[in-house]
Chain A
Amino acid sequence: MFSLLKRYRDVLLVTALLLYPLGTYLSSGHRGRDPNFVDRAVLWIAAPIQGGLTAIATGLGDAVSGYVALRGSHEEALACRSALAETRAELHTLREAEGTNARLKAMLGYVESTVEPEIAARVIGINLSPHFLSMRINRGEDDAVRKGMPVVTPEGVVGQVVSAVGGSADVMLVSDPASRVGVTIQRSRVRATAVGVGDGKSLALDNAARGDDVIDGDLVITSGTDGVFPQGLVIGKIEDVRRVSAGMFLSASVAPAVNLRGVEEVLVVPLTASAPPAALLPTTRPR
């Protein structure tokens, strides 16, 4: 028996190397596994390399664009001074309103809910599989980033943390086919689901009935019903609404509010945050 094993040792080893990962893949399918010790070690080595390369590339880009931007900087400085004066005046007004708001809240006995601050992170790489649209950020478990946390920018939703290790985390983009986000049409309050199409550019509106009030240009925001994303974050705008003669549901595309290909800095929203900060809320109000 042992002599047989010894004789076919090479064949058995190569066969095991071929079949073990296949078995793992077929049993876990598209879900993947949580990072193990070896994965963590690889990411621990890779994250600083990716961060360093990103910093070098960004630095070079900034140097070139900075040189180009010097032309016409005087006019820009004058415009900035003018804008600053206007902003100061606006700030004064807002402080007055804030004071009034605080007094009124105190009169009503309003209890302020505690919202933890978002974790700012930098995108250090795009993950290398066309079958799973995700990116890597330079904040991980060490910075209190956890699996399942929503990732946003001031423009809108980017995705969701799918794995976090020491100094980095992977974020599944909303455009990935596995992504599902509970949404509301801001104007008509129709509820639906935004599903990633997989082309990296758009999402599809799912579960919206044919008779629902949805038109091109409608703003789509998170409904908060999926238990992941806080209510009121911008997903994008409705495009290309189609109502076929037969069937229960309408079809529509959603153009993401965030340029998912060009995003560089993101905010990770802690799970305990029950509501998004004002800076992340849509600027247009319902009609």
Chain B
Amino acid sequence: MRAAIMLGLTLLLLSVESVAVKLFGFSVTRIDVTLVLVVFLGLRANPVEGAFTAFGVGYLLDVFTGRPTGLYPFLAVLVFLLVRLLASFVDARARGLFALMAAAATFGHALLAVFFSWLTSLGGTGTVATLSGVPLQVGLSLVTAFLIWPLLLKLDPGHERPQSGVLL
């Protein structure tokens, strides 16, 4: 049920984002805040359910890129696991810390995406242009995480992160 709600929310967010990018006339910069949901899953979901849902979130983003390659499902599951690992050292269940963690995750996600794209593209074309949009992306994730936190708590009121410190 929680997975279905998360995936529904992802689909809605991605649709809004794709229309918003068109309205605002961005060229290279894209706005994507679905990683906030992956961070939330990393903090509160159990490993298998969280990994499946994170995979679903990444898969939807992959389809919304127009050229599904498998990169975003991989990165979403990776970010989910890294957030779980990080949460064993930092208790990020407060609103502010959640927002900061979402921003950090977005930054890491963007760098990894650029790295893997560079790895498989001819001469790394477009890499510099892509990096220029990262600060905006991080800022938007920070704001979205802060704003969406109450809604996420309502959707998932009872699940606290089990046994912090255990990756799987």
Q: Flag if A14 contacts B168 (CB, 8 Å).
A: yes
Q: Flag if A43 contacts B63 (CB, 8 Å).
A: yes
B66 sits at the interface (CB 8 A) = yes
Q: How large is the interface on B (under 10, 10 to 19, 20 to 34, 35 or more residues)?
A: 35 or more
Q: Flag if A32 contacts B27 (CB, 8 Å).
A: no
A45 neighbours in B (Cβ, 8 Å): 11
A245 sits at the interface (CB 8 A) = no
A123 sits at the interface (CB 8 A) = yes
A109 sits at the interface (CB 8 A) = no
> Total number of A-B contacts with CB less than 8 angstroms?
189
Instruction: Jot down 21 A-B pairs with beta carbons below 8 A, ordered by A.
Output: A14-B47, A17-B77, A18-B51, A21-B58, A21-B72, A22-B70, A29-B120, A32-B69, A33-B69, A39-B63, A46-B15, A50-B18, A125-B18, A127-B65, A128-B65, A129-B67, A130-B28, A136-B66, A198-B129, A198-B130, A199-B129
Find residues 94-144 in chain B having any chain A CB closer than 8 Å to their own CB: 113-114, 116-117, 120-122, 125-127, 129-130, 133
Q: Would you give the shortest CB distance from B121 to chain A, in whole angstroms? A: 5
Find residues 29-84 in chain B having any chain A CB closer than 8 Å to their own CB: 29-32, 47-48, 51-52, 54-55, 58-61, 63-74, 77-78, 81
Q: Flag if A46 contacts B68 (CB, 8 Å).
A: no
Q: Flag if B21 contacts A128 (CB, 8 Å).
A: yes
Q: Flag if B74 contacts A22 (CB, 8 Å).
A: yes
Measured between alpha carbons, how far is A32 from B120 in the docked complex, in Å?
11
B25 sits at the interface (CB 8 A) = yes
With contacts A17-B51, A125-B22, A136-B66 known, what are 6 further pairs, Cβ within 8 A?
A14-B47, A23-B70, A38-B59, A54-B19, A129-B30, A172-B66
Q: Flag if A17 contacts B26 (CB, 8 Å).
A: no
Q: Pick from A17, A29, A32: contact of B55, CB below 8 A.
A: A17
**The 8 A-B residue pairs with the shortest CB-CB distance in the complex, in nearest-first order:** A198-B126, A200-B27, A125-B18, A24-B70, A129-B65, A127-B66, A32-B67, A177-B125
Q: Flag if A39 contacts B65 (CB, 8 Å).
A: no
Main SS class of interface, B: helix
A93 neighbours in B (Cβ, 8 Å): none
Q: Pick from B23, B28, B68: contact of A39, CB below 8 A.
A: B68
A134 sits at the interface (CB 8 A) = yes
Find residues 243-261 in chain A having any chain B CB closer than 8 Å to their own CB: 260-261
Residues on B lying within 8 angstroms of A by beta carbon are 11-12, 14-19, 21-23, 25-32, 47-48, 51-52, 54-55, 58-61, 63-74, 77-78, 81, 113-114, 116-117, 120-122, 125-127, 129-130, 133, 168
Q: Flag if B67 contacts A261 (CB, 8 Å).
A: no
A170 sits at the interface (CB 8 A) = yes
Interface size on A, residues (CB 8 A): 62
A21 neighbours in B (Cβ, 8 Å): 55, 58, 70-74, 77
Q: Would you give the shortest CB distance from B30 to chain A, in whole angstroms? A: 5
Measured between alpha carbons, how far is A61 from B32 in the docked complex, in Å?
23
A132 neighbours in B (Cβ, 8 Å): 65-67
A42 sits at the interface (CB 8 A) = yes
Measured between alpha carbons, how far is A38 from B70 in the docked complex, in Å?
13
Residues on A lying within 8 angstroms of B by beta carbon are 10-11, 13-14, 17-18, 20-26, 28-33, 35, 38-39, 42-43, 45-46, 49-50, 53-54, 57, 61, 123-136, 162-163, 170, 172, 175-177, 196-201, 260-262
Measured between alpha carbons, how far is A163 from B63 in the docked complex, in Å?
11
Give the residue name and chain of the A residue nearest to B28 (CB). Answer: A200
B30 neighbours in A (Cβ, 8 Å): 126, 128-130
Q: Flag if A131 contacts B113 (CB, 8 Å).
A: yes
**Most chain A Cβ neighbours within 10 Å, of B14, B29, B127:** B14
A261 neighbours in B (Cβ, 8 Å): 25-27
A199-B27 contact given A21-B77, A42-B60, A128-B14, CB 8 Å threshold: yes
**Most chain B Cβ neighbours within 10 Å, of A49, A123, A130, A162:** A130
